[in-house]
A and B are shown apart, each in its own frame.
Chain A
Amino acid sequence: AQSVTQLGSHVSVSEGALVLLRCNYSSSVPPYLFWYVQYPNQGLQLLLKYTSAATLVKGINGFEAEFKKSETSFHLTKPSAHMSDAAEYFCAVSADSGYALNFGKGTSLLVTP
């Protein structure tokens, strides 16, 4: 079954520093991959998606992710963290059934002044 593993349940960065959130996937077929963000007391919002086109995917709010098949990775990056980036981030992969997604357990990003 398709699955994702997010490395690090909590990541802390200083404002202005590079953000790197790690996601590795396991899939027997070419996957579709997603990053979602969840701000406190809200639903999930799509940041970006990989659907087998360009391997470097740009999303909203300055985030991007690179699909690396050789490493089975889809890490999320942002060159310079803002305080407003503090949130929970979820990586997801297309599941076997219908159009369901399998989500990782999430990474909580803390941005310090």
Chain B
Amino acid sequence: DVKVTQSSRYLVKRTGEKVFLECVQDMDHENMFWYRQDPGLGLRLIYFSYDVKMKEKGDIPEGYSVSREKKERFSLILESASTNQTSMYLCASSPTAYEQYFGPGTRLTVT
């Protein structure tokens, strides 16, 4: 069965902190994605990666960076968290196809 896990379901951080969100998939998928989900805005793509050490900006990369050192792991980094980054963060993976498999999400609150 396909499995995408995210390191935390809920996270509370302070403004200015560096935040790491981890995502791991066990399906040997090439592609991995980070989205943020906000009410009324749907899912917006932050970054994606199609191979180890490769990354591409999505629609809203500002304030975020990513790291993919191993095929199964894709990390989202908030260099200096701000209150407008309070959101639900969803990780997904896919093989060489468009069908994506999602993790359970991390609800991040920045105070």
Contacts and interface: CB of A to CB of B under 8 A. Distances in A.
A45 B99 CA distance: 10
A44 B90 CA distance: 9
A32 B105 CA distance: 24
- Main SS of chain B's interface residues? strand
Given A32-B98, A49-B99, A98-B50, A103 B43 contact: yes
Interface string A4-48: 000001000000000000000000000010101000011111100
Contact of A97 (B56, B90, B101): B56
Nearest to A108: B39
Which 7 residue pairs across A and B have the least CB separation, nearest first? A43-B102, A105-B42, A103-B43, A44-B102, A43-B104, A32-B98, A103-B42
Interface of B: 4, 31, 33, 35, 40-45, 48, 50, 56, 58, 90, 92, 94, 96-105
Given A97-B56, A99-B98, 15 more contacts: A36-B102, A43-B103, A44-B92, A44-B100, A46-B99, A46-B101, A90-B42, A94-B98, A99-B50, A99-B96, A99-B100, A100-B58, A103-B42, A103-B44, A105-B42
